[in-house]
Amino acid sequence: MNRRDFALSIAGAAGAPQIKAATAKVPWSPGIKMAVQMGGNPTDEDLQFANQIGVRYTAITVDRKDDSYENFQRIKARVESAGLRVWNIGHDGNRNQEEIVLNLPGRDERIEAYKQYLKNCGKAGIRYVTYAHMGNGIWHTERETTRGSAPARGYNMAKGGEGIWAGKIFKGPLSHGRVYTETELWDNYEYFIRKVAPVAEENNVFIGIHPDDPPVPMLAGVPRCIFGTFEGYKRALEMANSSHVGVCFCVGTWLEGGDLMGADVVTAIKYFGERGKIWKVHFRNMSAPLPHFVETFVDNGYYDMYAAMRALREVNFDGIVIGDHFPAMIGGPKVAVAYTVAWIRAMIDRANAEAGARKA
């Protein structure tokens, strides 16, 4: 069964899953927040830059070996000394683990490591984490260019490409020597989420699950049937049955999938957002949907990004919005960040103003 048929079969099935609204009160203030990405050892310049562009929140990436309560506390103190706040801390060892996704040797050890990571976050007062569930990495073909000859990630299904995660390269035709079934993927996800969701709840840490990137039906023998469709997401969150498992809504990945996702960006935001299940948003635009896309500037793709921001405001989204996968701009990486933040700020201000006008 291909992904489209799978989505339709679920949608039309009797007793189709319905996600329960979150029952836990999120431990952060109301309102859409802006954030920037930083490493585990932010410099004075990094922190000053965030303050200069008016961003209050950071999303931190550390090395896998630095996953500890003591290190998370150190990072928080460093960031907060500049008047900023840490939204989440993550590393490549707490998502996209092939052992977990494909039930390979070492699965239980990786799950135990993830549970300890959740405990470290909870103890350090980190209330949100992003998880992703891809078994053979994020795929790409050759770098391409977008507006102004800016180099950017591209993916063309006709060319195959390769997947990358944590320094490992995955290639076709079969990245793991055989074709996996959708049933296997669902069973492996259920095994994982049923073990980690109670730990998230006990430590008051909210897990937002990122879409598969790219969201194609199958890559090198591995189906992307869970977080590659709207209906798959609904089933997965119902299976988790947890107030602390929700969505990291990547607008860019959703746009990569286009019609294959089974619901457009606004429909998905409203569905998950009305249930209090979106806690972080990746805000980027795409040149076109599959089968061939290039990541581009927030104002330069095929989608009106304000439609997404307006939908977030309408469902009273109160997590962070953050740019990612920036095209390379002249002047260094901070230029693209500042450019994107300026657009995000303008859209948030406009959405808030329109919401206020409707209430008046």
What percent of the chain is predicted at pLDDT more than 90? 90
Cβ pair 319, 22 in contact under 8 A: no
CB atoms within 10 A of CB 83: 10
Average pLDDT of the residues in 28-49: 96
Q: What count of residues does the chain have?
A: 360
Instruction: Provide the residue ranges of all domains of the chain, joining segments of one domain with +.
Output: 30-359
**pLDDT band, very low/low/confident/very high, at 199 (cuts 50, 70, 90):** very high
- Residue 207 dihedral angles phi and psi, to the nearest 5°: -100, 115
Q: What is the DSSP letter of 61?
A: E
What percent of the chain is predicted at pLDDT more than 70? 92
Residue 350 has a pLDDT of 97
341: part of which helix (H) or strand (E)? Answer: helix 333-359
Average pLDDT of the residues in 67-79: 98
Q: Is the pLDDT of residue 139 over 70?
A: yes
Average pLDDT of the residues in 133-150: 97
Q: What is the DSSP letter of 259?
A: G
Q: Which CATH architecture has domain 30-359?
A: Alpha-Beta Barrel (3.20)
Q: Which pLDDT tens digit goes with each residue over 278-294?
A: 999 999 999 999 999 99
Q: Is the pLDDT of residue 343 over 80?
A: yes
Q: Under 8 Å CB-to-CB from 296, ≥6 apart: which residues?
A: 146, 147, 152, 284, 285, 286, 287, 327
Q: Which pLDDT tens digit goes with each residue over 171-188?
A: 999 999 999 999 999 999
Average pLDDT of the residues in 166-170: 95
Q: Is the pLDDT of residue 15 over 60?
A: no
CA-based end-to-end distance of the chain: 51
Average pLDDT of every residue of the chain: 93
Give the angle subtended at the CA of 95 by the CAs of 271 and 259, to the nearest 5°: 40
Residue 16 has a pLDDT of 47
